[in-house]
Amino acid sequence: MKMQEQDRDLLFSLMMFFGVGNVYHSKPRDDSPAGRGGSWYYCVTKLSDLERLVRHFEAYPLAGSRARAFEVWKQLFELKRSQRTSDTEALFSLAARLSELSRRRTSTQTASDTEAS
């Protein structure tokens, strides 16, 4: 999960809530607008830790576009857990779907941010 500087505390809260993963910071790119503090990431990599996240979001489902993105992400997790990572066609297909969902959500957020201004 990626967030900007102003929302980094939320990532630390998630890490504390779930008790797994780490929060990382990446410096802003050289071409970033002034004042941008780079990005913050909540990252969980161990399968057993990822399974904890899956169980949580199955018990407390997300809504809207995040629910659709979670379902695709969960399919990627299941592929990894079943050790069928040699099925590169399935991996690329799911990754492309997840990327498309993310792009749609980002463009929708950008449009609503512009309208709110």
Dig out the tokens for 51 from the structure.
Answer: 């399974």
* Cβ count within 10 A of residue 53: 18
The pLDDT assigned to 117 comes to: 43
Based on the domain organization, do 37 and 75 belong to the same domain?
no
Q: How far apart are CA 68 and CA 77, in angstroms?
A: 14
39: in domain? yes
Domain span including residue 12:
1-45
pLDDT band of 85, cuts 50, 70, 90: low
Instruction: Please give the model's pTM, rounded to 2 decimal places.
Output: 0.67
- Cβ(107)–Cβ(99) below 8 Å: no
Based on the domain organization, do 89 and 117 belong to the same domain?
yes
Alpha helix (H) ranges present in the chain? 8-18, 47-59, 64-81, 88-116
Q: How far apart are CA 91 and CA 23, in angstroms?
A: 25
Based on the domain organization, do 67 and 114 belong to the same domain?
yes
Based on the domain organization, do 29 and 76 belong to the same domain?
no
Based on the domain organization, do 111 and 68 belong to the same domain?
yes
pLDDT tens digits, one per residue of 1-34: 788 888 889 999 999 999 999 999 988 766 666 5
25: in domain? yes
